Structure 1
Amino acid sequence: MADDPNDRRAELQRRARDLAAMRGAVAKPAQPEPEAEAHPPLAEVEATATAAAVGAEARSSGLLDLLVSLFKPKPTQPQRPVPVAIPAEGPSFTILVAALSGDADGQAATALNQALSARPAFKVKAIPRLYQLERLDDPAQVAGVSLNTRHAVAEEDADLLVWGEFGKDGYRLRLATASNDDERAASFGTTTRIELPAELGEGPSNLLYAACLAAVEVPTEAHRNSIRRLMPAAAAQVESLAAKPPVQMSMGQQRSCQLVFGHVATINAMVVPPEETNLWFDKAINAYRQAQRRLARTDPTWETGLIHKHIGAVLSAKAERSKDPAPLLEEAIKEWRQAVECLPRALMPQEWASAQVRLGVALYRLDLKTGQTELLRESVQALQATLQVYSRTETPQRWAEVMHNIAQVLEVYGDQLKSTEVLKRSIDACHSVLEIRTRERGPLSWAATQNTLGSALFLLDRHSTGAGHLAEAEAALAAALEVFQTHGAKGPAKVAAKNLGHVRKLAESRKTRQVIEPHWLDDPDSK
Structure 2
Amino acid sequence: MLSIFNRFVDWFLMREEGEDADAQNPAQLMQGISDVNVLIAEPDGKFASDEAKAALLQSIIGPLNERPGLSLRLINKSLQRSRKGSLSDQIEASIGNGRKWLEKEKCDLLMWGEVSLEDQAVRWYFLSAVEGEANLGMPAKLENLLVPFDPEKATLDVLYAAIFAATSPHHSTQALKIGEYLLGAVDPLTKLSSGLTSRKTSPAAKTSAMGMCAVVLANVARRAQELGWFDPAVKAFDTWESLVDKDKTPIEWALVKNHQGWLYDEMTNHEDDDQALEHIEKAIAIFEEVCTVLNEKQHPLEWASVQMRIAGTCSKIGRKMNDSDYLQKAARYYKKSMNIYTQAAYPLNWADAMSRMAKTMMLHGQMMKGAQSLEQAGVAFQAVLKVYTEEKYPALWASTQNNLGATLFALAKRDPSTPQWINHALICFDGARRYYEETGKTQMVHVIDKNISKAQDLKDQIEEELASDLLN
Normalising by structure 1, what TM-score?
Answer: 0.69
Determine helix, strand or coil for the equivalent of 1:129. Answer: coil
Q: Residues 363 and 97 from structure 1, CA distance in 2 versus in 1: closer, same or farther, beyond 3 angstroms?
A: same
Aligned residue type for 1:267: N
Deviation larger for 243-252 or 400-409: 243-252
* Residue matched to 1:121: 69
Kindly indicate whether the alpha-carbon contact (under 8 Å) linking 1:474 and 1:503 is maintained by their aligned counterparts in 2.
yes
Q: Residues 322 and 482 from structure 1, CA distance in 2 versus in 1: closer, same or farther, beyond 3 angstroms?
A: farther
* Residue matched to 1:29: none
* Residue matched to 2:232: 283
Partner Cα distance (2:220, 2:36) in 1: 17
1:470 to 401, 421, 425: 425
1:170 to 118, 121, 133: 121
2:262 to 309, 313, 330: 313
* Residue matched to 1:256: 208
Q: Residues 380 and 242 from structure 1, CA distance in 2 versus in 1: closer, same or farther, beyond 3 angstroms?
A: same
Q: Residues 352 and 244 from structure 1, CA distance in 2 versus in 1: closer, same or farther, beyond 3 angstroms?
A: farther
1:102 to 45, 54, 59: 45
* Residue matched to 1:90: 33
Aligned residue type for 2:110: L
* Residue matched to 1:58: none
Partner Cα distance (2:37, 2:395) in 1: 28
Q: Residues 91 and 199 from structure 1, CA distance in 2 versus in 1: closer, same or farther, beyond 3 angstroms?
A: farther
Q: Residues 231 and 206 from structure 1, CA distance in 2 versus in 1: closer, same or farther, beyond 3 angstroms?
A: same
Kindly indicate whether the alpha-carbon contact (under 8 Å) linking 1:102 and 1:165 is maintained by their aligned counterparts in 2.
yes
Aligned residue type for 1:126: L
Residue 376 of structure 1, CA deviation:
2.9
State how 1:487-498 maps to structure 2 within 5 Å: none
Determine which structure has more spread, i.e. the larger CA radius of gyration: 1
* Residue matched to 1:389: 340
State how 1:297-312 maps to structure 2 within 5 Å: 298-299=247-248, 303-312=252-261
* Residue matched to 2:183: 232
Normalising by structure 2, what TM-score?
Answer: 0.77
Which structure 1 segments of 5+ residues have no match? 1-84, 488-492, 523-527
Residue 254 of structure 1, CA deviation:
1.2
* Residue matched to 1:130: 78
Partner Cα distance (2:290, 2:281) in 1: 14
Residue 354 of structure 1, CA deviation:
1.6
Aligned residue type for 1:474: F
Give the number of the structure with larger relative contact order, counting CA–CA contacts within 8 Å between residues 6 or more apart. Answer: 2
Residue 129 of structure 1, CA deviation:
3.2
Which string of whole-angstrom CA distances, capped at 9 and with x for unpartnered residues, describes residues 291-340 of structure 1? 12212374255555434321111122222233554443233222222322
Kindly indicate whether the alpha-carbon contact (under 8 Å) linking 2:351 and 2:384 is maintained by their aligned counterparts in 1.
yes
Deviation larger for 263-272 or 124-133: 124-133
Residue 441 of structure 1, CA deviation:
6.9
Partner Cα distance (1:117, 1:511) in 2: 72
Determine helix, strand or coil for the equivalent of 1:299. Answer: coil
Residue 173 of structure 1, CA deviation:
0.7
Q: Residues 452 and 87 from structure 1, CA distance in 2 versus in 1: closer, same or farther, beyond 3 angstroms?
A: closer
Residue 211 of structure 1, CA deviation:
0.2
Which structure 2 segments of 5+ residues have no match? 1-27
Determine helix, strand or coil for the equivalent of 2:191. Answer: helix
* Residue matched to 1:144: 90
Residue 455 of structure 1, CA deviation:
2.4
Aligned residue type for 2:464: V
Task: Indicate yes or no: 2:295 matched with 1:347.
Answer: no
Residue 149 of structure 1, CA deviation:
1.5
Kindly indicate whether the alpha-carbon contact (under 8 Å) linking 2:138 and 2:219 is maintained by their aligned counterparts in 1.
no
Q: Residues 87 and 231 from structure 1, CA distance in 2 versus in 1: closer, same or farther, beyond 3 angstroms?
A: closer
* Residue matched to 2:146: 195
Aligned length: 426
Residue 124 of structure 1, CA deviation:
3.6
Kindly indicate whether the alpha-carbon contact (under 8 Å) linking 1:444 and 1:484 is maintained by their aligned counterparts in 2.
no
State how 1:1-20 maps to structure 2 within 5 Å: none
Q: Residues 433 and 91 from structure 1, CA distance in 2 versus in 1: closer, same or farther, beyond 3 angstroms?
A: farther
Aligned residue type for 1:121: G
Partner Cα distance (2:462, 2:384) in 1: 36
Q: Residues 182 and 456 from structure 1, CA distance in 2 versus in 1: closer, same or farther, beyond 3 angstroms?
A: same
Deviation larger for 446-455 or 260-269: 446-455
Which string of whole-angstrom CA distances, capped at 9 and with x for unpartnered residues, describes residues 351-382 of structure 1? 22221111111111222233333333332221
Kindly indicate whether the alpha-carbon contact (under 8 Å) linking 2:304 and 2:340 is maintained by their aligned counterparts in 1.
yes
Kindly indicate whether the alpha-carbon contact (under 8 Å) linking 1:150 and 1:176 is maintained by their aligned counterparts in 2.
no
Q: Residues 351 and 443 from structure 1, CA distance in 2 versus in 1: closer, same or farther, beyond 3 angstroms?
A: same
Aligned residue type for 1:299: K
Aligned residue type for 1:308: K
Partner Cα distance (2:439, 2:174) in 1: 23
Determine helix, strand or coil for the equivalent of 2:380. Answer: helix
Partner Cα distance (2:449, 2:272) in 1: 27
Determine helix, strand or coil for the equivalent of 1:320. Answer: coil
Kindly indicate whether the alpha-carbon contact (under 8 Å) linking 2:87 and 2:302 is maintained by their aligned counterparts in 1.
no
RMSD: 3.6
Determine helix, strand or coil for the equivalent of 1:377. Answer: helix
Kindly indicate whether the alpha-carbon contact (under 8 Å) linking 2:131 and 2:168 is maintained by their aligned counterparts in 1.
no
User: What's the % identity of the aligned pairs?
Assistant: 20
Deviation larger for 353-362 or 278-287: 278-287
Determine helix, strand or coil for the equivalent of 1:164. Answer: strand
Kindly indicate whether the alpha-carbon contact (under 8 Å) linking 1:133 and 1:141 is maintained by their aligned counterparts in 2.
no
Partner Cα distance (2:146, 2:214) in 1: 14
Aligned residue type for 1:282: D
Q: Residues 93 and 400 from structure 1, CA distance in 2 versus in 1: closer, same or farther, beyond 3 angstroms?
A: farther
* Residue matched to 1:453: 404
Deviation larger for 379-388 or 421-430: 421-430
Q: Residues 88 and 395 from structure 1, CA distance in 2 versus in 1: closer, same or farther, beyond 3 angstroms?
A: same
Determine helix, strand or coil for the equivalent of 1:256. Answer: helix
Partner Cα distance (1:439, 1:112) in 2: 51
Residue 176 of structure 1, CA deviation:
2.1
Partner Cα distance (2:463, 2:392) in 1: 42
Determine helix, strand or coil for the equivalent of 1:430. Answer: helix
Q: Residues 89 and 403 from structure 1, CA distance in 2 versus in 1: closer, same or farther, beyond 3 angstroms?
A: same
Determine helix, strand or coil for the equivalent of 2:316. Answer: helix
Kindly indicate whether the alpha-carbon contact (under 8 Å) linking 1:306 and 1:343 is maintained by their aligned counterparts in 2.
no
